[in-house]
Amino acid sequence: MRQEWAALIGSLRKGSYNRALYEVFRGLAPVEVRWREVNIGDLPFYNPDAEPDVWARQFWEEMQTADAFVFFTPEYNGSIPAVLKNAIDWASRDPHGSSLAGKPSVVLGASQGLFGTLRSQLHLRQILSFMDADLVQRPEVLVAEAHLKLKPPGQLNDPMAERLMRQLSENLYRRVGRLAAV
């Protein structure tokens, strides 16, 4: 069954470890999956008083048409990056209803630290849970010491992380399939 997954990458840095992780994950996903990277860097800071601009409308459309979301988060000061939180705030204000509610979603992350993105993933999972996203929780994928394991354009030197990512993508694919069958 064809599925469309939207990737939200929480790092705007061109050569980011999370962008490289996205490339690896993308290559491990079932062949029936079509990918779309959602541009979150051009969204203005969320302001409920502001009129949604063209970026917000395009963002809402991309979010509404996705079958699933894959969040790639670095860890900034023990939490998620502001650009990712801003995108989630915009998604929650879609005029058609929250783009995240009921949508299958997974969280992955890579960082140079020894704990990977443990704290940022925990924080992001709390936010997504509050947004009523349908989180596929396992297996958790936290790539620690990413500077030693990830090389752009998406090469991973961590067999355990690769196995976990393959399993996570299969779990997400099955979740989307079950929801489509209902």
Query: 10 Å Cβ neighbour count for 134?
Result: 18
pTM of structure: 0.94
User: Interior CA angle at 100 toward 106 and 142, to 5°?
Assistant: 20
d(CA 121, CA 127): 10
Q: What is the pLDDT of residues 73-124, one digit of tens each?
A: 999 999 999 999 999 999 988 877 788 999 999 999 999 988 889 999 999 9
Q: What is the mean pLDDT of residues 141-154?
A: 87
Q: Which residues contact 164 (CB under 8 A, 6 or more apart)?
A: 139, 140, 141
Instruction: Report the distance separating Cα 8 and Cα 11, nearest Å.
Output: 9
Residue 27 has pLDDT above 90, yes or no: yes
pLDDT of 93 reads 84
pLDDT tens digit sequence for 51-83:
777 788 888 888 889 999 999 999 999 999 999
Domain ranges in the chain are 3-181
CATH (one of 3.10.450.50, 3.40.50.360, 1.10.10.10, 3.40.50.720) for 3-181:
3.40.50.360
